[in-house]
Each structure stands twice: as C-alpha cells, then as structure tokens.
C-alpha cells in the first residue's frame, strides 16, 4: 500500500473531521471503519450545532427529580437496574462535576472550543458542498413551569459574561417563532447563535467525500487489530495491513474496546438515546430544533420527518433497546406539537460517549508515542467534530492549536 502518514480509526463525525483536517494539511491519511461513514452515533442525533453551549448536562440536584428517575417515572432519564453497579463510580464522578462551582468552571474551560463550532462547520460545509444542510436560525427551549425557568439565572449570567445573545420569551413570543407550537409552555428561550442541520449523516458523508477528493482513502477494517510494529502503528484492513507513524482513535462509544487492548483506560460511560421520525399533522411545521426542557426530549425538523430524540438512558452499550421513555414523552410531545403518523416506523438507538466532567479527550494518548485520542464528545459530537478535527490536526502538524488543549488532556483522569 502507498505511504500513509496517519491512520484515523472511526468514521463518525469526529474521525471524518479529523481525517479531513489532516488531508487539508497535505498528509496521506487512511480513515478506517468497520461500518459505513457516519452511520452510527453520528447518524441519529438531533442535528444541533450547539456552539452556544454554556453549562454541561448536570446530575439532578432536585430530590424530586432524582426520586422520579429512581422510580422510573421520569421522562428525561431511564436506567437498567442491573447496570447501576457498573456505572456507579462514573455517576459519582459525574455528580461531583455537577456542583455549581464545577459547572461554572467547566463553562469557562469549554467556551473557547465551542465558540468555534459553527464557524468550523461552515468552513468544511463550504468546501464539501454541504451548506444546504445548514440552518442558522438558532434553537428554542421551552419551559412549562416557573421553577425550571427561574433556575436558568446562572446560565443567563454566564451568557452575558460570554457575550452570547439570548431572548427570554413568553408563550406568545415562542409561538411567534414557531407558530405550530401549542401554548403548553409558560416561557421560552431563543438562542439565535445555535445552528442545526437537516441530515447529520449527509453532513458526515459530504466531509468524507471531500476527504477522498483531497486524496484520502477510506478502508474497511476492525480497529481492534491496531498494534505496534517497530516504531509504527499497524491496522489490518480489507486491503491488507496499514502502517503509519501516527494514529488517531475516534471510535466514539466503542473507544474502550481498543483502549483496553492497548492497556489504556478512560472513565468513559455511555448515555444511550433513541429517536423516532414522525410526520407533522396538516400544515404544521418546525423551522428549528425545540427542547422541551422539563419533559426532556427534542423535536427537530429533518429530511426524514420530525425527529424526536430522547434524553439519557444508563444501560450497557450493547444491551437490547428499551425505549420506555417514549411512552412517557409521547402524550406531552403531542400536546406541544401536532405530531402525526410515524414516518418510517423505526426506533433508533445510539450511545453518547461521555466522560464524567463532560469534556472530550482531545490530544496525545498517555505513554503511547504517535497515538492520539479524539473521543468522549457526549451530547456534542456533531457540534464539536470539525473544531476537534482542526485542533488535533494542528497539534499533529506542530502548529499552535487554536485553543488551549490542556482542558482536554487524557492525563486529567490519572
């Protein structure tokens, strides 16, 4: 096989963006996946490029909410009882990272990366001919009660500090933006600088096509075949063994499968999530993603229909689907928006790859020369794929990274 400078393992939005940024710097790159480009987690998400993310998702601080989740009466979260002992250490670390002071610290640490999210997508979309997927019309979060809206005060303070615009709206204001919403909410917040896409799979495929146009190759292979040979990394592919001095791991929720073989470990858990597609009734429509904050789901207009995505389910990554949250969500969702018949009758399950401090790992793998990690993007892998790709490529090329990589080092878990 021809000279390869770098192997990228995993062709989700993160790995594909990394591969494209490396190819743009003139490197000879092979992108390896056992499935099709963008067909796993990066296919089924809610399509939000959430560049104005401020606070990460937090462990519930409200005893009532926790009790509802424990009793499996919550619509926003679910769990498999048999899985709890396995995920307990992660949950405790997540709870510790959810203290108000830690959340505020995280907000400051992640801002430089998130602030580039939309611009980095726009740049790649322009060269990949994918701009038609992009909607730069923000997203709307609705709040049914006063308590949940009042709890936003710290986030509004941080938004002002970061210079992020928002509009706090009443019911009529929310309906002015989205006329098909019913007045089941008291408040809405419009975040105009968020963007979204109408087909996340289409976006990743377009970036992959741009990558191959620049000379990159996409191969089928099992990432778990990666091993050292001399001072290089070798992966087995359908076209034979592939050697390179540098290798980037971007395996999303499957990252631990390879790290374990290499003797590395990260506290990576999954928050599973589901989606279903619906038609809208009559002339109803949506222009942008809507978060129903207390109920804990999103509805987003996609090419396939209205995509309804669920919140977190704590269960083993490979356990059978258990989409019980839909039973609790559907009556509330139908009350908000006139969802019609299922568009394709399918229920999709994906796994958000999450670290307990809600920051991805982007940088060198500890103690493994030439190995890089771009993993753990949790709720924001679509958002951060291109920014991560730029950052890794800059570091690998010896250029100064556009933002401080220290918050993303794997060593923070040592």
Question: HSE-up of 202 (CA within 13 Å, CB side)?
Answer: 15
Q: Which stretch binds ligand FAD (CB under 6 A): 12-20, 149-157, 159-167, 329-337?
A: 12-20
Select the residue interacting with ligand FAD from 22, 74, 223, 269 (CB under 6 A). Answer: 223
Which among 11-19, 328-336, 363-371, 401-409 is the span making contact with ligand FAD, rule CB under 6 A?
11-19
Write out the binding residues for ligand FAD, residues 259-278 only, by CB under 6 A.
273, 275
**Three-state SS for 238?**
coil
If the CB atoms of residues 166 and 268 are measured against ligand FAD, the closer one turns out to be 268
Q: Looking at 125, 142, 249, 251, which residue binds ligand FAD (CB under 6 A)?
A: 251
Rounded CA gap, 116 and 404, in Å?
13
Nearer to ligand FAD, 100 or 343 (CB): 343
Tell me how long the chain is.
Answer: 414
At closest approach, how far in Å is the CB of 140 from ligand FAD? 14
Closest approach of Cβ 282 to ligand FAD, in Å? 27
* Nearest to ligand FAD of 13, 110 (CB atom): 13
CB of 77 to ligand FAD, least distance (A): 13
Stretch that binds ligand FAD, among 10-18, 127-135, 364-372, 396-404 (CB under 6 A): 10-18
Q: Does 254 bind ligand FAD (CB under 6 A)?
A: yes
Please report how the helices 13-24 and 200-213 are oriented relative to each other, as an axis angle in degrees rounded to 10: 30
Taking every pair of Cα atoms in the chain, the longest distance, rounded to a whole number of angstroms, is 66
Interface with ligand FAD includes 350 (CB under 6 A)?
yes
Among positions 375-394, residues that touch ligand FAD (CB under 6 A) are 377-383
Residues 280, 131 contacting (CB under 8 angstroms): no
Which residues lie below 8 Å from residue 204, measured CB to CB, with a gap of 6+?
Answer: 11, 12, 13, 16, 37, 38, 42, 43, 385
Give me the numbers of helices (H) and strands (E) for the chain, helices first please: 13, 23
Hey, which residues between 20 and 59 contact ligand FAD (CB under 6 A)? 33-35, 40-42, 44-48, 50
Interacting residues with ligand FAD between 224 and 243 (CB under 6 A): 224
- The stretches of 141-235 forming alpha helices (DSSP H) are 146-150, 153-162, 171-177, 200-213
Number of shown-chain residues binding ligand FAD (CB under 6 A): 40
Complex with ligand FAD: residue 185 or 207, whichever CB lies closer: 207
Bin 218: left if φ > 0, else alpha if -120 < ψ < 50, else beta: beta
- 370/185 Cα distance (integer angstroms): 52
Q: Are 365 and 410 in contact (CB under 8 A)?
A: yes
Task: Find the shortest distance in angstroms from Cβ 386 to ligand FAD.
Answer: 11
Binding mask 289-328 for ligand FAD (x = CB under 6 A): --------------------x-------------------
Which residue, 279, 275, 292, is CA-closest to 178? 292
Among residues 103 and 197, whose Cβ is nearest to ligand FAD? 197
Dist CA 223 CA 30 (whole Å): 12
Nearer to ligand FAD, 273 or 407 (CB): 273
Q: How far is the CB of 147 from ligand FAD (least distance, A)?
A: 25
Buried b / exposed e along 132-155 (16+ C-beta atoms within 10 A) = ebbbeebbbbbbbeeebbeebeeb
- Selected binder of ligand FAD within 57, 252, 256, 401 (CB under 6 A): 252
Q: Give the interface with ligand FAD as residue ranges (CB under 6 A).
A: 10-15, 33-35, 40-42, 44-48, 50, 222-224, 250-254, 257, 273, 275, 309, 350, 352-353, 377-383
């Amino acid at each position: 096989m021809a000279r390869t400078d770098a192997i990228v393992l995993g062709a989700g939005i993160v790995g594909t963006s990394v591969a494209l940024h490396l190819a743009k710097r003139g490197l000879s790159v092979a992108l390896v996946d056992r499935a099709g480009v963008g067909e796993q987690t990066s296919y089924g998400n809610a399509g939000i490029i959430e560049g104005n993310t401020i606070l990460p998702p937090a462990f519930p601080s409200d005893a009532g909410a926790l009790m509802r989740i424990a009793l499996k009466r919550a619509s926003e979260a679910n769990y498999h009882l048999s899985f709890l002992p396995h995920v307990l250490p992660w949950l405790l670390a997540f709870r510790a990272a959810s203290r108000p002071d830690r959340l505020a610290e995280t907000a400051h640490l992640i801002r430089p990366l998130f602030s580039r999210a939309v611009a980095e997508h726009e740049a790649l979309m322009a060269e990949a001919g994918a701009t038609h997927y992009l909607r730069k019309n923000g997203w709307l979060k609705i709040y049914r009660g006063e308590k949940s809206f009042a709890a936003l005060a710290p986030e509004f303070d941080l938004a002002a500090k970061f210079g992020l615009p928002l509009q706090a709206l009443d019911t009529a204001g929310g309906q002015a933006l989205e006329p098909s919403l019913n007045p089941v909410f008291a408040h809405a917040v419009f975040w105009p600088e968020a963007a979204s896409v109408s087909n996340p799979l289409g976006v990743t495929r377009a970036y992959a096509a741009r990558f191959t146009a620049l000379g990159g190759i996409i191969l089928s292979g099992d990432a778990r075949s990666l091993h050292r040979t001399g001072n290089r990394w070798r992966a087995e592919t359908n076209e034979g063994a592939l050697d390179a001095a540098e290798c980037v791991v971007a395996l999303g929720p499957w990252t631990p499968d390879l790290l374990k073989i290499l003797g590395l470990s990260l506290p990576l858990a999954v928050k599973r999530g589901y989606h279903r597609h619906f038609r809208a009734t009559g002339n109803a429509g949506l222009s942008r993603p809507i978060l129903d904050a207390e109920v804990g789901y999103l509805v987003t207009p996609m090419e396939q229909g209205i995509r309804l995505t669920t919140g977190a389910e704590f269960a083993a990554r490979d356990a059978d689907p258990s989409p019980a949250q839909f039973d609790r969500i559907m009556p509330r969702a139908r009350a908000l928006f006139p969802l019609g018949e299922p568009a394709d009758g399918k229920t999709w399950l994906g796994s958000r790859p999450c670290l307990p401090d809600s920051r991805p790992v982007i940088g060198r793998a500890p103690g493994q020369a030439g190995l890089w990690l771009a993993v753990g993007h949790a709720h924001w892998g679509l958002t951060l794929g291109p920014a991560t790709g730029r950052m890794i490529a800059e570091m690998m090329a010896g250029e100064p990274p556009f933002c401080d990589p220290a918050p993303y080092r794997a060593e923070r878990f040592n």
